[in-house]
């Protein structure tokens, strides 16, 4: 079958390298891809046709929703763009979301209904990639991961069949979808159970003593109600997405301003923090608007990584803040987890690290003239020391396309089970542009 024949059989658009719209079509949020062919699907039938074509031509398949994943940079293959499959519908507390929807669009529909789903932090991030990989969002302590709220999915398999996956229909596939990424098919619809959310309380406070501040924040979160999730971020002046320096942001799931203020009092009143602000706001208002890819100024890669910590010990705090302090062009990010995140058994989904209390990420940017060879080796060493304190890594928070990285994400038991599901549903490894389950 030729691309022209494929185009004749789909309602959407097939874009080839010779087409005028090629450069625009292959641009994704984090870069410019080099696929062999792009199918902008307009329906589930289009997705089926694209997968069938890829199998006939022996092409690997990549899937794009929001387009934030680094996997869009891989060369070759057939890219299925799901952005047109973005409908969001509500039936009481059950919310069905098209595979190409973004979290900003979901929040915009749910907010007038007084509902919410624990999601990511950025409006343009796709529902699909975030959910399939985990989803550590602003309500992670109140409601768990995005995938913990998933109750069903419509999947186009490697054979082009359409199946429904849930706890009762193809439960093995449903287990793997929740944390195993896009390895098992193209999810064209996600079904979530939403939560009542009349509004949130959001607080921000600037940090003047990082190590002291993190110790106080840790101590507050050990006893904090599940409604509260906090983030610590320390970024250099070069980052266009946030003001330079260290800040703490706190999200309270609900409108109880006084309870939020009382819980955060040790932080709001501490000399380690200044310029505190706290107010009741809407959930969509706190989702970030991340700028798209700029080919004139591509974002640099970094040396570092992320890990899930069983506890934010004094040693971990010192190592993390020292990593940032030693490198002006570096970033440090932490988010509290625990609460509802930890209610889920480690083997209930493919996302295993449920005993963690904190997620931490640190990285030194690879900038010529700033991070030389010796400094890069030192950063790798320091990060390895931090990573050794953790229990595993979170695939959604890496820009690495290193195939070995996936082994940081799953302990042996989860890996073996994922391999079994992969061999059942995608034995030819058609869906391989991801943290790939193979072997």
233, 372: one domain: yes
Q: Residues 19-32: what's their mean pLDDT?
A: 88
Contact 135, 219 (CB under 8 A): no
Show which of 163, 196, 229 is a domain's final residue.
Answer: 196
| 426 within a domain of the structure (yes/no) | no
Query: pLDDT for 301-318, tens place per residue?
Result: 889 999 999 999 999 999
Query: pLDDT for 50-63, tens place per residue?
Result: 999 999 999 999 99
Cα angle: 265, vertex 267, 269; to 5 degrees? 65
Share of the chain above pLDDT 70, in %: 99
Query: In degrees rounded to 5, what are phi and psi of residue 295?
Result: -65, -20
> Of the given ranges (59-68, 141-150, 203-212, 351-360), which has the lowest mean pLDDT?
59-68
Indicate the pLDDT class of residue 71, thresholds 50, 70 and 90.
Answer: confident
Indicate the pLDDT class of residue 70, thresholds 50, 70 and 90.
Answer: confident
Q: Residues 234-262: what's their mean pLDDT?
A: 89
Calculate helix-pair angle for 314-325, 210-223, nearest 10 degrees: 140
pTM value > 0.75: yes
| 156 within a domain of the structure (yes/no) | yes
Contacts of 193 (CB under 8 A, 6+ apart): 93, 94, 95, 149, 151
221, 331: one domain: yes
278, 214: one domain: yes
242, 376: one domain: yes
| 439 within a domain of the structure (yes/no) | no
| 420 within a domain of the structure (yes/no) | no
Cα 177 from Cα 153, distance rounded (Å): 9
User: CB burial class (10 A; 0-12, 13-18, 19+) of residue 403?
Assistant: exposed
| 423 within a domain of the structure (yes/no) | no
CA proximity to 133, closest of 151, 145, 121? 145
Q: What is the CATH number of the domain that holds 345?
A: 3.40.462.20
pLDDT (0 to 100) of residue 316? 98
Share of the chain above pLDDT 90, in %: 85
Q: Residues 288-306: what's their mean pLDDT?
A: 80
CA proximity to 142, closest of 201, 99, 91? 201
304, 374: one domain: yes
Domain containing 318 equals: 200-402
Q: What is the CATH number of the domain that holds 38?
A: 3.30.43.10
Record the tokens describing residue 203, joined without a space: 């607080």
**Rg of the chain on CA atoms, in Å:** 21
277, 340: one domain: yes
pLDDT (0 to 100) of residue 290? 77
Indicate the pLDDT class of residue 415, thresholds 50, 70 and 90.
Answer: very high
289, 260: one domain: yes
Q: What is the CATH number of the domain that holds 184?
A: 3.30.465.10
Indicate the pLDDT class of residue 78, thresholds 50, 70 and 90.
Answer: very high
**How high is the mean pLDDT of the chain?**
94
Q: Residues 30-45: what's their mean pLDDT?
A: 93
Total of domains in the chain:
3
| 408 within a domain of the structure (yes/no) | no
Query: pLDDT for 81-110, tens place per residue?
Result: 999 999 999 999 999 999 999 999 999 999
Query: pLDDT at residue 74 above 90?
Result: no
227, 372: one domain: yes
**Cα–chain center distance at 48:** 26
Show which of 63, 81, 99 is a domain's final residue.
Answer: 81
Indicate the pLDDT class of residue 239, thresholds 50, 70 and 90.
Answer: low
Q: Residues 7-36: what's their mean pLDDT?
A: 92
pLDDT (0 to 100) of residue 241? 59
| 39 within a domain of the structure (yes/no) | yes
pLDDT (0 to 100) of residue 238? 67
Show which of 48, 81, 114 is a domain's final residue.
Answer: 81
Q: Residues 41-58: what's their mean pLDDT?
A: 97
Query: pLDDT at residue 65 above 90?
Result: yes
| 359 within a domain of the structure (yes/no) | yes
Give, in order, the Cα–Cα distances in Å from 142 to each of 216, 271, 290, 340. 21, 28, 25, 6
181, 240: one domain: no
pLDDT (0 to 100) of residue 401? 83
Give, in order, the Cα–Cα distances in Å from 35 to each of 60, 74, 278, 301, 350. 10, 7, 46, 22, 29
**What end-to-end distance do the CA atoms of the chain give, in Å?**
30
182, 74: one domain: no
pLDDT (0 to 100) of residue 242? 64
109, 253: one domain: no
110, 173: one domain: yes
pLDDT (0 to 100) of residue 413? 97
């Amino acid at each position: 079958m030729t691309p022209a024949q494929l185009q004749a059989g789909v309602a959407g658009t097939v874009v080839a390298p010779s087409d005028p719209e090629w450069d625009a079509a292959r641009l994704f949020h984090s870069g410019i891809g080099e696929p062999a062919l792009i199918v902008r699907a307009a329906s589930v039938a289009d997705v089926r046709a694209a997968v069938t074509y890829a199998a006939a031509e022996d092409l690997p398949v990549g899937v794009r929703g929001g387009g934030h994943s680094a996997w869009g940079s891989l060369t070759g293959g057939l890219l299925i763009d799901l952005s047109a499959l973005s409908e969001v519908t509500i039936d009481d507390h059950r919310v069905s979301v098209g595979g190409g929807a973004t979290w900003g669009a979901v929040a915009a529909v749910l907010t007038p209904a007084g509902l919410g789903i624990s999601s990511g932090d950025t409006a343009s991030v796709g529902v699909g990639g975030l959910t399939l990989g985990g989803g550590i969002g602003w309500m992670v302590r109140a409601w768990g991961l995005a995938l913990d709220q998933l109750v069903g999915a419509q999947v186009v398999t490697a054979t082009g069949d359409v199946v429904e996956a849930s706890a009762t229909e193809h439960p093995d596939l449903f287990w793997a979808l929740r944390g195993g990424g896009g390895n098992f098919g193209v999810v064209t619809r996600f079904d979530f159970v939403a939560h009542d959310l009349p509004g949130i309380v959001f607080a921000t406070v600037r940090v003047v003593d990082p190590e002291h501040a993190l110790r106080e924040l840790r101590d507050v979160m050990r006893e904090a109600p599940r409604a509260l999730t906090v983030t610590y971020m320390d970024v250099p002046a070069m980052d266009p997405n946030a003001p330079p320096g260290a800040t703490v942001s706190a999200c309270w799931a609900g409108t109880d301003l006084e309870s939020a203020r009382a819980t955060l009092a040790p932080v709001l009143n501490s000399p380690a923090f200044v310029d505190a602000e706290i107010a009741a706001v809407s959930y969509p208002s706190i989702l970030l608007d991340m700028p798209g890819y700029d080919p004139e100024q591509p974002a640099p890669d970094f040396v570092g990584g992320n890990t899930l910590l069983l506890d934010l010990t004094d040693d971990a705090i010192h190592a993390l803040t020292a990593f940032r302090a030693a490198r002006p062009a570096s970033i440090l990010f932490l988010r509290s987890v625990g609460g509802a995140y930890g209610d889920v058994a480690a083997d209930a989904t493919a996302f295993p690290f449920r005993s963690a209390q904190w997620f931490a990420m640190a990285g030194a940017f690879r900038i010529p003239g700033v991070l030389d060879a010796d400094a890069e080796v030192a950063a790798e060493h320091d990060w390895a020391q931090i990573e050794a304190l953790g229990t595993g890594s979170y695939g959604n928070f890496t820009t690495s396309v290193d195939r070995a990285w996936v082994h940081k994400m799953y302990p042996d038991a989860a890996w073996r089970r994922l391999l079994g599901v992969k061999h059942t549903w995608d034995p030819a490894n058609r869906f391989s542009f991801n943290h790939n389950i193979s072997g």
